[in-house]
């Protein structure tokens, strides 16, 4: 029987069933240059915004094409308008709109070339507060979960985005600075190399609904997974979650976008289908415009998680310590190693990213809330 | 004793010379369809024998023999069996042929007790053993009625069963035809029953069929008669097979586009993991395609996968696949043959637009208990068959198959490695013969699959089928078959996410059916088929509930769908002349939507949606009726014995739709009945074919053209929700389709080297151009269907190196299937995402695969406890990573393109089979 098992095991090794290979398309797509609008109208004390971009060729590696020079307004049905202006920092049109729950709003856009676009009027929905945000150590990493409840049972569809900030630290605290220009070591407490901060935004579409539940309560709804050994939890982590109630149409739109672009590729997944949003070109109704503008109050909540709160996170930097001889500094620093102490005939050094956290994508801008 | 006989016949003809001291010269040679006179001339030429005879005595005797050192006495005994003709052989090589009395050559004392000797011989050389020396004919003249009463120009009907001499099973699809005029022909039905119209007088009949030896019968028709024909199985012959003259069934059959494969043919083809696959083999036939490896669903002449009616002994099988569609759910050991109607569908079949796949099981050996077992890398199989009781009237067949279990899943892509999978299937068939005119058949079928992907969702599905069939020969001209049965298909999904979110989802189809089919042979010009059938559907289209009490998941229970589909049909096979015959049929089908049911009424002229509901109803009774005639016409004109032209026209209606927006049949695809808001699908096909046989009918060639239209085929609105949707009509939209193609086939059905080469050019295009029904697809212009693969080339070959060793190879090339590729990308919700444009505007890379298998058989002694064979081979010999799909996915904020292949390398396999 053991023999049979061995044979079968060998067979499995030999037979390579089912595999995924990278695939690059060679489609000469004509430049579609479709206007893409991602917008959210919120309450009067949070920012309403619209990202205006253009679609590009799949193989296009250049920067995001932003639709500059447009006039963007939040409008209600009585002609009341609030302008959204372009923010270089957030790369979007944004502003405060003095809106009221229950009224209908839309976003109106006049692009630089004079074309006018508008989203469908949608009712500004109230969004319930975010309840507890929990985390659970699971096999794959750390699962972040949230709770929310709308006692009025009006908000049934939810959409979340988040911003993450986390601290990272180097493996070695350096007391010297390598002056590359002069190839010399300068005594300095290099806290800028030791304490760093990183941040990122949600990149996947996070949705939830109570429509299929017999209560208006979402319990422990998983919205994020931090993979094992990720540096997010190496020291301290913080996440700001923004919660928006969605209209059914807005929810369906994002859900289809998610299916089309994120959960695809297993044997039985549905084929991609066309996305139809709620934006039209007023001058030319046949022009293809992609995107959806929804209207609801934004609710947000921030939590912090320390490394100590998570069991066995096992974040490790594989550092190679090395004693660099004085005559080889120019060769090794800073491309391979960085010094962390002055030393004597040799300089105690280690792999550069273990000494300077900025080489790991960190920066020294400590967030205000830290 | 049997063993002794065997020894004599196979191992040493010397024994004969010893056993019969008298002069009994061995005869060797091939004597095909010649008169006895010509036979004598041949024998006299090659030996020093001299025959004495009266021409009148022997002129009714035909010879169709393959002889290899067969003693003359044996040959003559066989030839004269049942006739008053006697013979004697003298020591000085003289042969005397006489009627009624035997000449006793004075010098041969051995022959004095001749009659007794021959009795002995008969016992010794049973029919079977004689057949083993290739005496495949019966020279006896079977006379019906009296010659003296024959009136000119009268015609008579000859009926009977064709049965296997060894097992007593009926031989399906055997052709019986007159050797003088091959247009006088009949084919046995699934019960082995045939009806042949013959002019009064003498005829010689040829019997041919797959897996049987050719047989020859002489009949004198002076009245209607019944002739049960016993034929021998084609055992692996020890000498090269000589092909008999008239394999011309493909020329003469009126139907076109009917493909038939026996299990022997299926088994010799290389198959993935060495599992002989009844359905996958179909995809090697012209006009039958599949979207990829992990799909047992198949597409016939541009039809969708749900437009195939799959019948197993008349039971509808809704999911014919195991394990992601990698295997079909039919145990090859209990299957006898499969027949696919891709163009001319008999009027008795209906309910699906594009094809009927009729799978018949073995009927069971009525004489002794036999069976087989197979051990492969994926499954083990066992099958048993044999008589019940002593009477040889009742027989059973049992088959079972199961997987080894979990390691199967380790073959799947890595992300599924926590999965689990298993499947099993079980068949039981019982046949009881009340008398020669009345038989009862019971069929039971069960198949179950369950598998878990990604460790938290378990899918399962089960087919359960049972039916009872009574076949009655009402009189010489009229046969009736009465069938009643139940089909049940269940699938479901349950999860293990955690107590709060765990759910259990189930779907079920239950259908009960009854039908009566009659065949009426009026005369040589008209054969009628008529009957009626009804199916009562009861669908439980979705039941969703939480698995634990603390969960707040809301239960969903979609309302039951009930309906009645019924049909009456009549068709007439009209033989205008031996060259020209036509089958014309009409089927009237009707579909009643039955209540109680709730439904919505929508505004006309705009797409159905929540906002266009005008009214809601909740009623019982017959809520809606669809129906209409379906025409089934085909004709044949045979210009010569080896060339014919056929044409056909078919229309049909389909009242049940599979909802699927995946490219292949997924285990969670739901079936939906037509209702107040969803109209039945309709379709029609016109086809034309040219059939030419070459080299004495040993090579069959054909060219077939077809053009097809489909209406009200369902497509889906963007983001359609197909599961647990109470208002599914809001998410589907009817489309229109057309398909056309040409199929070229060169087939060598027999011989040391056999197989076929096929090439198909075909297109399948769909169109959604009605803005009142939903969003236009590709601006309302035609776009290729998922399974549109214009070029398709197939080679299937088998070469018998020796009787114990054969090599089979398949080569398969086709254009890659169409997919929707991104035309651009855009940034949304924090990441780049792909933008899709025209549906199915691009194609995945072309498909190419070559397979090879070696079949090694044990020795061919007929009388031994077990027969065993090995099949060793390689699937996907070149190891090509054929793309199954290409997709683009946003991962961690960037777009990655992937090409997924089901088989990423060559797949060696080995299978051991044993027959007992």
| Positions in chain A short of pLDDT 70 | 1-19, 25-31, 264-270
Q: State whether residue B856 sits within 8 Å of chain A by CB.
A: no
Which among A15, A215, A223, A279 is the top mutation candidate for probing chain B, defined by the most B β-carbons within 10 Å of its own β-carbon?
A15
What pLDDT does residue A6 have? 52
For residue B240, being part of any structural domain is answered with no
B282 burial type by CB count under 10 A (0-12 exposed, 13-18 middle, 19+ buried) = buried
- Comparing CB atoms, the residue among B500, B823, B888 nearest residue A29 is B823
With pLDDT > 70 as the criterion, what percentage of chain B qualifies? 85
For residue B771, being part of any structural domain is answered with yes
ipTM at complex level: 0.87
Question: Does B295 lie in the same domain as B174?
Answer: no
Range name among B186-195, B649-658, B739-748 with the lowest pLDDT average: B186-195
For residue B65, being part of any structural domain is answered with yes
C-alpha distance from A65 to closest chain B C-alpha (Å): 9
For the range A50-55, what are the long-range contacts, defined as Cβ-Cβ under 8 Å and sequence gap of 24 or more? A50/A84, A50/A92, A50/A93, A50/A94, A50/A107, A50/A109, A50/A293, A51/A91, A51/A92, A51/A93, A51/B827, A51/B828, A52/A92, A52/A93, A52/A109, A52/A111, A53/B826, A53/B827, A54/B826, A55/A290, A55/B824, A55/B825, A55/B826, A55/B835
What is the residue range of B13's domain? 2-132
* pLDDT tens by residue, B590-615: 999 998 999 999 988 888 888 888 88
| Close Cβ partners of B691 (under 8 Å, ≥ 6 residues apart) | B250, B251, B256, B643, B644, B645, B646, B700, B701, B702
Say yes or no to pLDDT of B750 above 80: no
Contact list, A12 vs chain B (CB under 8 Å): 407, 410-411
Question: Does B208 lie in the same domain as B89?
Answer: no
Contact B824 A34 (CB under 8 A): yes
Residue A331: helix, strand or coil by DSSP? helix
Contact yes or no for B607/B733 (Cβ under 8 A): yes
Place of tokens 């009994």: B24
Strands (DSSP E) found in B72-154? 85-89, 94-99, 141-144
CA distance B415 to A134: 27
Say yes or no to pLDDT of B1 above 50: no
Contact A58 B823 (CB under 8 A): yes
Section B561-573 average pLDDT: 94
Contact B904 A19 (CB under 8 A): yes
Place of tokens 């004269």: B80
Which is nearest to A34 in space by CA: A53, A65, A55? A55
Which among A62, A271, A292 is the top mutation candidate for probing chain B, defined by the most B β-carbons within 10 Å of its own β-carbon?
A271
What pLDDT does residue B891 have? 78
Apex CA A152: angle with CA A146 and CA A157, to 5°?
50
For residue B200, being part of any structural domain is answered with yes
Could you tell me which chain A residue has the CA closest to the CA of B546? A213
Question: Does B558 lie in the same domain as B438?
Answer: yes
For residue B239, being part of any structural domain is answered with no
CATH code, domain with B188: 2.60.40.1120
Rounded to the nearest 10 degrees, how much is the dihedral formed by the CA atoms of A218, A220, A222, A225?
A: 160
Q: State whether residue B605 sits within 8 Å of chain A by CB.
A: no
Contact list, B554 vs chain A (CB under 8 Å): 212-214
Structure-token pair, residue A253: 């739109």
Contact B661 A270 (CB under 8 A): yes
Section B566-578 average pLDDT: 91
* pLDDT tens by residue, B849-866: 888 888 888 766 666 677
Question: Does B173 lie in the same domain as B264?
Answer: no
Q: State whether residue B835 sits within 8 Å of chain A by CB.
A: yes
Contact A270 B820 (CB under 8 A): no
Question: Does B176 lie in the same domain as B100?
Answer: no
Could you tell me which chain B residue has the CA closest to the CA of A261? B889
Contact B908 A15 (CB under 8 A): yes
Which among B327-341, B479-493, B830-844, B868-882 has the top mean pLDDT? B479-493
C-alpha distance from B720 to closest chain A C-alpha (Å): 9
Contact list, A14 vs chain B (CB under 8 Å): 905, 908
Q: State whether residue B294 sits within 8 Å of chain A by CB.
A: yes
CA distance B234 to B209: 10
Question: Does B147 lie in the same domain as B89?
Answer: no
C-alpha distance from B183 to closest chain A C-alpha (Å): 50
Could you tell me which chain A residue has the CA closest to the CA of B822? A58
Contact B835 A32 (CB under 8 A): yes
Question: Does B159 lie in the same domain as B84?
Answer: no
What pLDDT does residue B4 have? 32
Question: Does B227 lie in the same domain as B88?
Answer: no
pTM score, whole prediction: 0.75
Structure-token pair, residue B404: 């080894």
Contact list, B668 vs chain A (CB under 8 Å): 268
What pLDDT does residue B14 have? 30
For residue B339, being part of any structural domain is answered with yes
With pLDDT > 90 as the criterion, what percentage of chain B qualifies? 23
Section B441-458 average pLDDT: 83
Which among B890, B891, B907, B909 is the top mutation candidate for probing chain A, defined by the most A β-carbons within 10 Å of its own β-carbon?
B890
C-alpha distance from B424 to closest chain A C-alpha (Å): 20
Q: How confident is the model at residue B316 (pLDDT cuts 50, 70, 90)?
A: very high
DSSP element (H, E) containing B4? helix B2-10
Contact A204 B829 (CB under 8 A): yes
CA distance B540 to B542: 6
Question: Does B593 lie in the same domain as B656?
Answer: yes
Neighbours of B80 (CB within 10 A): 19
- Comparing CB atoms, the residue among A21, A58, A270 nearest residue B822 is A58
Q: How confident is the model at residue B103 (pLDDT cuts 50, 70, 90)?
A: low
What pLDDT does residue B743 have? 92
Question: Does B81 lie in the same domain as B120?
Answer: yes
Report the side by side order of strands in the sheet with B315-316. B258-262, B335-341, B355-361, B308-312, B315-316
Section B325-336 average pLDDT: 83
Question: Does B174 lie in the same domain as B122?
Answer: no
Secondary structure tally for chain A: helices H, strands E = 5, 24
Contact B719 A255 (CB under 8 A): yes
Which among B833, B836, B840, B886 is the top mutation candidate for probing chain A, defined by the most A β-carbons within 10 Å of its own β-carbon?
B833
Q: State whether residue B885 sits within 8 Å of chain A by CB.
A: yes
For residue B252, being part of any structural domain is answered with no
Q: How confident is the model at residue B464 (pLDDT cuts 50, 70, 90)?
A: very high
What pLDDT does residue B113 have? 38
CA distance B122 to A307: 94
Q: How confident is the model at residue B415 (pLDDT cuts 50, 70, 90)?
A: low
What pLDDT does residue B862 have? 60
- Domains of chain A, by residue range, sit at 26-124+248-295, 130-232+312-360
* pLDDT tens by residue, B684-694: 999 999 998 88
What pLDDT does residue A1 have? 43
Total domains in chain B come to: 3
Residue B596 to residues B538, B562, B617, Cα–Cα distance (Å)? 12, 8, 10
Contact list, A205 vs chain B (CB under 8 Å): 829
B637, β-bridge pairs: B580, B645
CA distance A256 to A262: 10
Say yes or no to pLDDT of B238 above 60: no
C-alpha distance from A189 to closest chain B C-alpha (Å): 36
Contact yes or no for B339/B358 (Cβ under 8 A): yes
Q: How confident is the model at residue B3 (pLDDT cuts 50, 70, 90)?
A: very low
CATH code, domain with B661: 2.40.170.20
Residue where a domain stops, chosen among B234, B267, B300: B234
Buried residues in A173-202 as b, exposed as e (16+ CB within 10 A): ebebbbeeeeeebeeeebebbbbbbbeeeb
Count of residues making up chain B: 916
Say yes or no to pLDDT of B177 above 90: no
Residue where a domain stops, chosen among B132, B162, B197: B132
Contact B889 A213 (CB under 8 A): no
Q: How confident is the model at residue B737 (pLDDT cuts 50, 70, 90)?
A: very high
For residue B204, being part of any structural domain is answered with yes
Which among B610, B826, B836, B840 is the top mutation candidate for probing chain A, defined by the most A β-carbons within 10 Å of its own β-carbon?
B826
Q: State whether residue B826 sits within 8 Å of chain A by CB.
A: yes
Residue where a domain stops, chosen among B234, B249, B271: B234
Phi-psi region of B97 (alpha: psi -120 to 50; beta: other; left: phi over 0): beta
Question: Does B559 lie in the same domain as B666?
Answer: yes
Contact list, A270 vs chain B (CB under 8 Å): 661-662
Q: State whether residue B720 sits within 8 Å of chain A by CB.
A: yes
pLDDT mean across residues, chain B: 80
Contact list, B665 vs chain A (CB under 8 Å): none
Contact list, B888 vs chain A (CB under 8 Å): 25, 58, 261, 264
What pLDDT does residue B742 have? 94
Contact yes or no for A160/A237 (Cβ under 8 A): no
Say yes or no to pLDDT of B756 above 80: yes
Chain B residues 433-452 within an 8 A CB cutoff of chain A: none
Contact yes or no for A106/A121 (Cβ under 8 A): yes
- Comparing CB atoms, the residue among A60, A265, A274 nearest residue B900 is A265
Structure-token pair, residue A196: 């760093």
């Amino acid at each position: 029987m053991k023999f049979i098992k061995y044979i079968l095991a060998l067979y499995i090794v030999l037979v390579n069933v089912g595999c995924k290979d990278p695939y690059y398309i060679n489609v000469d797509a004509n430049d579609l240059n479709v206007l893409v609008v991602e917008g959210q109208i919120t309450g009067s004390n949070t920012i309403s915004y619209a990202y205006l971009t253009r679609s590009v060729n799949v193989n296009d590696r250049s920067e995001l094409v932003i639709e500059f020079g447009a006039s963007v307004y939040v409008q209600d049905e009585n002609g009341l308008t609030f302008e959204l202006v372009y923010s270089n920092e957030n790369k979007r049109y944004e502003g405060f709109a003095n809106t009221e729950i229950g009224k209908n709003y839309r976003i109106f856009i006049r692009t630089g070339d004079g074309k006018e676009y508008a989203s469908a009027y949608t009712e500004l929905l109230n969004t319930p507060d975010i309840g507890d945000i929990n985390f659970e150590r699971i096999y794959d990493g750390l699962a972040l979960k949230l709770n929310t409840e709308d006692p009025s049972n009006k908000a049934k569809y939810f959409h979340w985005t988040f911003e993450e900030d986390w601290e990272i630290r180097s493996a070695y605290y350096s007391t010297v600075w390598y002056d590359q220009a002069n190839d010399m070591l300068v005594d300095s407490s290099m806290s800028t190399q030791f304490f760093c901060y990183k941040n990122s935004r949600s990149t996947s579409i996070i949705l939830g609904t109570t429509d299929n539940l017999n209560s208006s309560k979402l319990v422990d709804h998983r919205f994020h997974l931090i993979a094992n050994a990720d540096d997010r939890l190496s020291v301290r982590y913080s996440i700001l979650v923004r919660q928006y109630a969605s209209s059914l149409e807005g929810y369906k739109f994002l859900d289809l976008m998610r299916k089309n672009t994120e959960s695809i590729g297993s044997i039985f997944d549905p084929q991609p289908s066309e996305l139809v949003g709620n934006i039209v070109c007023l001058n030319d109704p046949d022009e293809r415009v992609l995107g959806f503008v929804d209207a609801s109050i934004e609710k947000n909540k921030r939590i912090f998680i320390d490394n100590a709160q998570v069991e066995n996170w096992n974040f490790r930097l594989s550092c190679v310590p090395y004693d660099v001889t004085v005559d080889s500094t120019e060769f090794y620093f800073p491309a391979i190693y960085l010094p962390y102490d002055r030393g004597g005939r040799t300089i105690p050094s280690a792999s550069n990213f273990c000494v300077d956290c900025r080489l790991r994508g960190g920066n020294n801008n400590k967030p205000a809330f830290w | 004793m049997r063993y002794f006989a065997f020894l004599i016949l196979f191992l040493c003809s010397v024994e004969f010379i010893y056993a019969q001291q008298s002069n009994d010269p061995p005869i060797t040679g091939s004597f095909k369809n010649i008169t006895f006179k010509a036979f004598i001339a041949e024998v006299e030429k090659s030996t020093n024998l001299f025959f004495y005879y009266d021409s009148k005595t022997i002129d009714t005797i035909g010879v169709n023999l393959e002889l290899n050192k067969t003693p003359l006495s044996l040959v003559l005994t066989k030839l004269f069996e049942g006739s008053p003709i006697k013979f004697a052989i003298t020591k000085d090589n003289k042969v005397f042929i006489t009627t009624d009395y035997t000449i006793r050559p004075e010098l041969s004392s051995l022959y004095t007790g001749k009659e007794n000797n021959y009795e002995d011989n008969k016992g010794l050389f049973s029919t079977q053993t004689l057949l083993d020396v290739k005496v495949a004919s019966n020279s006896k003249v079977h006379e019906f009625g009296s010659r003296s009463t024959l009136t000119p120009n009268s015609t008579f009907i000859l009926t009977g069963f064709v049965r296997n001499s060894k097992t007593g099973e009926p031989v399906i699809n055997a052709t019986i035809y007159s050797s003088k005029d091959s247009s006088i022909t009949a084919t046995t039905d699934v019960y082995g029953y045939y009806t042949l119209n013959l002019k009064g007088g003498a005829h010689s009949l040829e019997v041919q069929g797959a897996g049987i030896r050719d047989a020859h019968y002489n009949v004198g028709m002076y009245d209607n008669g019944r002739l049960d024909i016993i034929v021998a199985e084609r055992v692996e012959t020890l000498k090269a097979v000589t092909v008999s003259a008239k394999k011309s069934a493909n020329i003469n059959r009126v139907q076109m586009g009917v493909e038939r494969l026996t299990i022997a043919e299926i088994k010799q083809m290389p198959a993935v993991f060495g599992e002989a696959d009844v359905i996958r083999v179909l995809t090697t036939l012209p006009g039958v395609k599949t979207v990829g490896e992990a799909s047992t669903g198949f597409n016939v002449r541009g039809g969708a996968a749900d437009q195939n009616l799959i019948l197993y002994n008349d039971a509808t099988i809704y999911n014919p696949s195991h394990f992601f569609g990698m295997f079909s759910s039919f145990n090859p050991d209990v299957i006898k043959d499969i027949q696919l109607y891709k163009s001319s569908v008999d009027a008795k079949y209906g309910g699906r637009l594009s094809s009927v796949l009729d799978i018949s099981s073995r009927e069971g050996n009525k004489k002794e208990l036999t069976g087989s077992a197979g051990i492969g890398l994926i499954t083990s199989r066992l099958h048993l068959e044999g008589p019940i009781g002593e009477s040889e009237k009742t027989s059973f067949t049992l088959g079972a198959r199961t997987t080894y279990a979990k390691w199967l899943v380790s073959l799947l892509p890595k992300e599924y490695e926590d999965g689990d999978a298993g499947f099993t299937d079980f068949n039981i068939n019982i046949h009881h013969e009340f008398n020669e005119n009345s038989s009862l058949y019971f069929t039971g079928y069960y198949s179950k699959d369950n598998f878990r992907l990604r460790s938290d969702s378990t899918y399962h599905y089960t087919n359960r089928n049972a039916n009872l069939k009574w076949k009655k020969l009402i009189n010489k001209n009229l046969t009736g078959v009465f069938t009643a049965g139940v089909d049940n298909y269940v699938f479901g999904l349950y999860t293990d996410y955690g107590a709060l979110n765990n759910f259990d989802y189930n779907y079920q189809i239950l259908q009960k059916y009854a039908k009566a089919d009659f065949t009426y042979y009026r005369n040589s010009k008209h054969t009628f088929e008529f009957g009626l059938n009804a199916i009562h559907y009861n669908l439980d289209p979705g039941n969703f509930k939480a698995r634990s009490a603390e969960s707040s998941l809301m239960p969903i229970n979609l309302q039951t769908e009930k309906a009645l589909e019924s049909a009456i049909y009549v068709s007439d096979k009209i033989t205008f002349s031996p060259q020209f015959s036509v089958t014309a049929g009409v089927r009237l089908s009707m579909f009643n939507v039955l209540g109680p049911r709730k439904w919505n009424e929508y505004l006309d002229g705009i797409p159905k949606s929540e906002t266009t509901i005008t009214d809601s109803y909740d009623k019982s009774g017959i809520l809606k009726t669809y129906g209409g005639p379906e025409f089934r016409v085909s004709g044949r004109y045979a210009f010569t014995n080896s060339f014919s032209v056929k044409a056909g026209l078919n229309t049909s209606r389909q009242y049940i739709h599979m909802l699927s927006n995946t490219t292949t049949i997924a285990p969670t695809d739901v079936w939906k009945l037509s209702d107040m808001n969803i109209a039945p699908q309709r379709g029609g096909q016109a086809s034309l074919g040219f059939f030419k046989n070459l080299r004495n009918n040993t090579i069959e060639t054909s060219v077939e053209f077809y053009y097809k239209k489909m209406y009200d085929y369902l497509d889906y609105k963007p983001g359609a929700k197909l599961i647990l949707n109470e208002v599914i009509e809001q998410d589907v939209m009817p489309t229109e389709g057309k398909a056309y193609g040409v199929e070229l086939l060169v087939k060598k059905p027999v011989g040391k080297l056999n197989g076929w080469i096929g090439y198909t050019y075909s297109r399948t295009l769909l169109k959604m151009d009605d803005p009142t029904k939903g969003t236009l697809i590709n601006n309302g212009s035609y776009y290729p269907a998922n399974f549109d693969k214009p070029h398709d080339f197939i080679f299937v070959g088998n070469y018998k190196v020796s009787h114990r060793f054969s090599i089979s190879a398949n080569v398969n090339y086709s254009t890659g299937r169409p997919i929707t590729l991104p035309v651009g990308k855009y940034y949304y919700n924090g990441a780049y995402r792909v933008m899709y444009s025209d549906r199915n505007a691009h194609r995945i890379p072309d498909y190419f695969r070559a397979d090879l298998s070696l079949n090694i058989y044990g020795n061919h002694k007929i009388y031994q406890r077990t027969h065993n064979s090995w099949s060793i081979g390689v699937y996907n010999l070149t190891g090509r990573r054929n793309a199954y799909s290409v997709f683009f996915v946003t991962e961690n904020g960037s777009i990655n393109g992937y090409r997924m292949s089901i088989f990423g390398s060559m797949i060696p396999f080995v299978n051991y089979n044993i027959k007992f």
